[in-house]
């Protein structure tokens, strides 16, 4: 493990501990991320190395993309993206995700903690609303 990987892993684990969790218990070996719940939302926190740079991805699956009313849902998600600070909705393999991606260089504890809280709170706030409105809960 490189020095940068160790440094950034320590920062992520410190944030997770401050959130009241044990990083070792949250770590998902199969997906190489930390995974935990905030209310009804599942949160995934990953350290990524891409082209020699390190990034943190904090993401929550919100719902499966429904077969009907897709365009209406996509319009709603774009409107939500315009109203939210830092977080964005994205689509991966027919799942709606709420996430923040941030380069690790220059990332401090306070900003990392705010990012985690923001994803967790917004996902917990909107997941049930969107599922009730459009259907198709994500079941992992």
Each domain of the chain, given as residue ranges in start order, spans 3-134
Number of CB atoms found within 10 A of residue 70's CB: 12
What are residue 125's phi and psi, to 5 degrees?
-70, -45
0.85 exceeded by pTM: yes
**pLDDT for res 138:** 62
Question: Beta strand pairing status for 53-64 and 41-50?
Answer: antiparallel
The per-residue pLDDT for 16 is 96
Q: What is the pLDDT along the chain (140 residues), one digit of tens a residue?
A: 689 999 999 999 999 999 999 999 999 999 999 999 988 889 999 999 999 999 999 999 999 999 999 999 999 999 999 999 999 999 999 999 999 999 999 999 999 999 999 999 999 999 999 999 997 666 66
User: What is the structure's pLDDT at 139?
Assistant: 64
CA distance 135 to 118: 24
CATH code, residues 3-134 = 3.30.1460.10
State residue 40's pLDDT score: 86
State the residue for tokens 């409105």. 133
């Amino acid at each position: 493990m490189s020095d940068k990987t160790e440094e950034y892993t320590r920062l992520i684990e410190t944030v997770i501990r401050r959130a009241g969790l044990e990083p070792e218990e949250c770590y998902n070996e199969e997906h190489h991320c930390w995974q935990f719940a905030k209310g009804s939302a599942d949160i995934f926190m990953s350290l990524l190395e891409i082209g020699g740079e390190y990034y943190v991805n904090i993401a929550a699956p919100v719902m499966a993309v429904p077969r009907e009313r897709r365009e209406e849902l996509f319009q709603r998600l774009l409107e939500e993206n315009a109203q939210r600070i830092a977080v964005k909705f994205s689509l991966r393999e027919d799942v709606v995700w709420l996430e923040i991606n941030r380069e690790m260089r220059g990332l401090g504890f306070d900003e990392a903690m705010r990012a985690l809280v923001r994803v967790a709170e917004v996902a917990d706030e909107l997941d049930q609303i969107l599922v009730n409105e459009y259907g198709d809960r994500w079941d992992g």
